[in-house]
Amino acid sequence: MGGMARGLEQAEHSGQLVIGDMVFPCSVLSDGTRILTQSDFMTGMGMYYSGWVAKNKPADQPADLPHFLAFESLKPFIDKHLGDLQSIVVKYRTEKGSVAHGIKAEIIPKICEVWLDADEEIKLGKRQKQIAQKAKMIIRALAHVGIIALVDEATGYQEIRNKEALRALLDAFLQKEFAAWAKRFPDDFYKEMFRLRGLAWNKLSVKRPLYIGRLTNDVVYERLAPGILEELQHRNPRDEKGRRPHKHHQYLTEDVGHPALAQHLHAVIGLMRASSNWQQFHDMLDKAFPKRGSVMQIELFSE
């Protein structure tokens, strides 16, 4: 491969994007760019470059005009929707290492708008009319799901994005080393928990039934943020006697973790005070603060 190919981003996740009866191979590059392969996009849209595109391209077309826009009939609508054409097509390396040309996924809707405007405002030929119909199908599909989300789902990158977002959240909530102990759980939290569980409360006693720790995990840490409890258990493992050397809250960060804990505890204590028994409290807790698990629901497509 020549020197021109050096420094190109590599396709790390690949798949097939299916819209109606159209299939578009797509990839996510090493820098996070989502792309559709140019040649496959043209094939899926019914643009056959061999012969037909060459005959229909304008004589004065710019050298960097992509083949799928190289039609005289589209000229009035290209500047309106696309502007700078140089950023549409990018060179990249496939997962096998060969050099390919791709279209940035977020530009696909704009390309479709070019064809839709052309179809509305001028008389297209039979072949071009078919392309405009496919463009309409894509636009309709994207009205429900963003192109970024579609590519991420098709390539499996959605799971990677979720893991990366989860890791960023854990880094914000938790510090790597435990901090000095400080009182973080108000007495009212345990006083109300004991009341709802039918236990005698003694403010001066630090002895509590073992299952109180499990209840605290259920009520607090499993609902604080995705993956928090699992990460805390990993960073603060039990010793040979089954005890944890530190309190989980000693690993929370001062700027994010502790404020989130304080806010959650304040709301939980309010639910406890409004409840007559544990079941009533737990039902309200599940509605107000459902368990977060280890999976983040994130928005994958933005304007």
pLDDT for 217: 92
**Using CA atoms in the order 82, 84, 89, 91, what is the torsion angle rounded to 10 degrees?**
-160
As given in the structure block, the two tokens for residue 194 are 């004991």
CA dist., res. 203 & res. 188, Å (int): 10
What confidence score (pLDDT) does residue 56 get? 52
Please give the C-alpha separations between residue 209 and each of 81, 83, 201, in angstroms, as whole numbers: 66, 68, 11
**Cβ–Cβ contacts within 10 Å for residue 134, how many?**
19
Percentage of the chain surpassing pLDDT 90? Answer: 15
Helical (H) or strand (E) element with 168: helix 157-173
Radius of gyration of the chain (CA): 28
Give me the mean pLDDT over the 198-221 stretch: 84
Cα separation, 50 vs 109, whole angstroms: 25
- Taking phi over 0 as left and psi of -120 to 50 as alpha, with beta for the rest, 52 belongs to alpha
What pTM did the predictor assign? 0.46
Model pLDDT, residue 219:
94
| pLDDT per residue as tens digits for the range 165-204 | 666 666 777 777 777 777 889 899 999 999 999 998 887 7
How many residues comprise the chain?
A: 303
The per-residue pLDDT for range 64-121, each reduced to its tens digit, is 566 667 777 777 788 777 765 556 788 899 888 899 888 888 888 888 888 899 888 8
